[in-house]
Amino acid sequence: MFDAVKEAAQKFGADFQENVALSKLTSFRTGGPAALLVQPNSCAALQEILAACRKENARYCVIGNASNLLVSDAGFSGVVLRIGPAMSAMEDLRNGRVRCEAGASLTALCNFACRLGLSGLEFAFGIPGTAGGAAYMNAGAYGGEMKDVLVACSHVSPDGKLEGFTGQGLQLSYRHSVYSDTSYVITELELQLKPGDPEAIRAAMNENKRKRAEKQPLEFPSAGSTFKRPQGYYAGALIEDSGLKGYSIGGAQVSLKHAGFIINTGSATTADILALIAHVRKTVFEKYGVLLEPEVKYIGD
């Protein structure tokens, strides 16, 4: 199965594995197996691997650090393309401009910018995703978002072309980009940052990390904030005021530390988490007339 995809990966020395438990990769620590997991190590490799998927009519999905992802308990019977450590190079383009591959972790990218004395990414320190994932969803925290610094993205289109978007073409808005509505695979980002004092940048990064540890249930597997912020409200406050703090279904629980987080207390299945998401949405809607929109993405059979 997927022989052409494996051959394309082998040609470029890209790692691939069959029947991989996705629960080991997702931050929720749930999900069944991927029939084939491939980790492209260059744009050229990604282009040929996608061409092989088309040739074999193979279903595929793209993941990064899987920190905002729910995978079906049945897994995914197609090809999972992980844009991760094998595509994580970073480069100083001078004059505050930084380029990085999509698989670079946000933490590594923030540290890189800090070493260069470049400010603007402090908000992202500690977000457990990749640069590509952050661009895909316009990730943000503590008053900042990717929209503030992202100026260009390169991608491979479903038909294998290497293309890109810049400026307004990125269509960045709250937890959304042009990529949210397409099947393009982000390969590189360019960021415009500002000169700053490395010590002050590091202090701001550490303060954000401290606030995360203080307010968020980082000791449990989760996908961060489960729901997008509804206009005029805070999801966590609506959930807590609905009496749902600590509510559980199976091993999934509305966090006692922050009601905006659904956590895996140790034995949760994806089905448990989905059932709890549905219950929270129904309860909040019945009480406040606000329909919460999940921030977490779902893939699988």
Query: What positions carry a catalytic annotation?
Result: 175, 225, 295
**DSSP secondary structure letters along 248-299:** EETTEEE-SS-TT-EEE-SS--HHHHHHHHHHHHHHHHHHHS--PPB-SEEE
Q: β-strands 140-141, 248-249: how paired? A: unpaired
Amino acid sitting at position 53: C
Cα 98-87-190 angle, rounded to 5 deg:
20
Question: 13 — phi, psi (to 5°)?
Answer: 70, 25
Contact 238, 292 (CB under 8 A): yes
